[in-house]
Amino acid sequence: MRLKGKVAIITGGANGIGKAATKRFLEEGAKVVVADIQKEAGEQLAKQFRDQGHEVMFYPVNVASKDEVETMVEKVKEIFGKIDILINNAGITRDAMLVKMTEEQFNDVIDVNLKGVFHCTQAVAKVMIEQGNGKIINTSSVSGIYGNIGQTNYAAAKAAIVGMTKTWAKELGKKGINVNAVAPGFTKTTMVEKMPEKILNYMESITSLKRLGEPDDIANAYLFLASDESNYITGHVLHVDGGIMM
């Protein structure tokens, strides 16, 4: 029970990696707020875990909206009295080659994947500063480290998250707050599985472990960075990519 009594907000927690993280955190004793724009999936997931005896709530939120995020954080603090962990997991893709990418496609990804992380962290950090402790885990990507064809918007957002993570680690460390990031490789989520099969096969072939990641692989990294086992780690980007870019 590595997270016993801890209160965690997991954005994008209704599906994919976020869903796996919600399950792992509940298993380790956390109280989890599933923050997601997908209301039906979020409510069903929360009910499923409540029926199993876990303390979990769903909160519908668009992380691209500063007002919605601030309202959510105020409500969570009101209900639980604290926020120990923030997992900035929510993300979307709008892939296109550079010369074909529309401004709308670019802005959509930046609004969710980058500004959403800023909104959530800014709001939660204020609570954590008052407490004198907290763990913030951001989700970057190998695309943000090495780039990826057709992902100008996504790679830009995920690269920026690395810079924000290191900046926030420097700013918030003296307040007792650890800030780290996870950079997943290609992981079996609905978002990735929409990619052409030949590309997925190629990604498997160039990965040292010869497989795509599972959502649990990333959830376990979140868990480590959220637990007391990582108390002396901050400003770090943990690559969980099966060795795709060694």
Whether 167 and 160 have beta carbons less than 8 Å apart is answered as no
Q: Is 232 a catalytic residue?
A: no
User: Measured between alpha carbons, how far is 220 from 14 in angstroms, rounded to an integer?
Assistant: 17
User: Measured between alpha carbons, how far is 149 from 166 in angstroms, rounded to an integer?
Assistant: 26
The catalytic position among 59, 146, 154, 232 is 154
For tokens 């099966």, the residue is 242
Cα distances (Å, whole numbers) of residue 183 to 72, 97, 126, 151, 196: 26, 22, 25, 15, 22
User: Measured between alpha carbons, how far is 118 from 91 in angstroms, rounded to an integer?
Assistant: 13
End-to-end CA distance of the chain: 34
Residue 158 phi/psi, 5° resolution?
Answer: -70, -30
In the chain, the amino acid numbered 63 is: V
Rounded to the nearest 10 degrees, how much is the dihedral formed by the CA atoms of 21, 25, 27, 33? Answer: -100
Q: Which residues are catalytic?
A: 154
